[in-house]
Structure 1
């Protein structure tokens, strides 16, 4: 009689089936329960806050490296990490479940942020500007229209009833939200790619998709005349390579784990691409940048509360309106550093409230419905 251990080693579909064993060649896989990705994303959110402080206090663009300021590099990091995680989510879930999770993660907290800006931030600024709320609900862009026009992630109106005004960066309550539309388009792109079996069976189709995205960005000047210099296409072309760079790391994750040796190689290749290639080097470096961030998450200490509570999204969507409201009250006179500190202190309670009251409950409800 064949014993159970021998049968389990031979039968397809069992844990011992050689076809189901990880193909890891070196390095360790990312431990989903023991990493500091939440903390890294929070740091990236605060980098965006700091970068925006320069604009909001009227101090220029801030530090710029290879055509991107700190906020641009932070967004690239966000997209790289998302590309890794979201690709894993798509490949492990049915399309309907995947889309439900993506909508639950990004849309509800976004809508609440729109309402908070229209019902709290804008009225305060309008009162400061006019010494009353007379005309607030009828002045273009009306509060109701600011919500309705922007509720599908595409930001059409940045002001609310002519506020904020009298500040160094007038007419925009939230200069961070525009990226969410393009991030969701990346979610849809991976949703489509995940319907083709060959994207799951081999890593090379994803590599081809990434290379194509870099080629489009590198040749954007030649493409622009055919799309009438469409701004949305240009922004998407700029960001998709960073997202697919993270996806490339994910599809190779069973073969190439996270290690200091891999991080060293990734750092060298990223530096070579960024420093050596004008115009598209940043995008070409995307997989290596994503690998570095993932590797850092395996050893960077993270506060335990942050490991289990992802407040980075709330920090990202509320930082800009908080900064603008501070500016309305004249805080931009404090200078970049003190202004940034004040904005950080004022933003975090809103970020925590967003996580505890909106994001976490909605995500739990979405998981229960699967």
Structure 2
């Protein structure tokens, strides 16, 4: 778990819960902060993030063999994303990746950093790599627009929603029209001991975690621990787009990635929900999504967007009619929800099963 941010001492700061614990949910005016963040006039304290480093001459080739991403030619300063999967292809770890020429930096959720560092350490064997959880020493701050005063800091730039080399889009929407283009995103690595001074030097206002989450949700950007559960596979979240290289060598979970991509369809699909704004409350993450009286999915993230009102992400059964009007049920409190496709119901079967083979005639058995 990441240590609490010193910025919580700022006037008006209200601490966030869940994945953002230890940072401010807001500083007194969430919607104003969100507008400023969207305009590139504010920064967000992301020091709830965890930071793991891998050093040594074998670091990139080693991470390449373990992960879903092709890292052999990753240049210093280049940003990418990787997944570490189970044998069944389910997401176990998700990391933002940046190399500085000497170390590879993995920015993860704070709750995931100890487990990731421990697992990587267990996989070292005789390779020339060193793994460190440096969360106590390094903080992360985010911004829609680059921060000129922070030019000296390492910065990870989110590849979302572009389709990375070796990736593939499972979205219904063309990339040129993807709402993620309205939210470019940069995450800076800053020494925790220098975080307050860095914020002052930036010349920008502070926006809380609520603001960053609303922009993330409206950009359809999935988050580990929010959109993921113990069954989720990358195809369901459109993460083949940025976090998987379909043409790289063998890694754990690759068989599932290839099988679903080439022959099958993911059982669920990520969806954007526009919620009824007439109510003065919002449903909680984890609320049931209903089609009629039948449960067809769960809400994964919820926010109040400064332009669109109450919005959410959810995971639905793939077979749900994409035109269906849905209802979110938060322990008996009902919210009408209009869905907007993220992952297409027809996604998958990029190659498809071979057809046209003749079957042997069926032989009737005699009793």
TM-score (normalizing by structure 1): 0.23
TM-score (normalizing by structure 2): 0.23
Q: Which has the higher contact order (CA 8 A, sep 6+)?
A: 1
Structure with the higher strand share, 1 or 2: 2
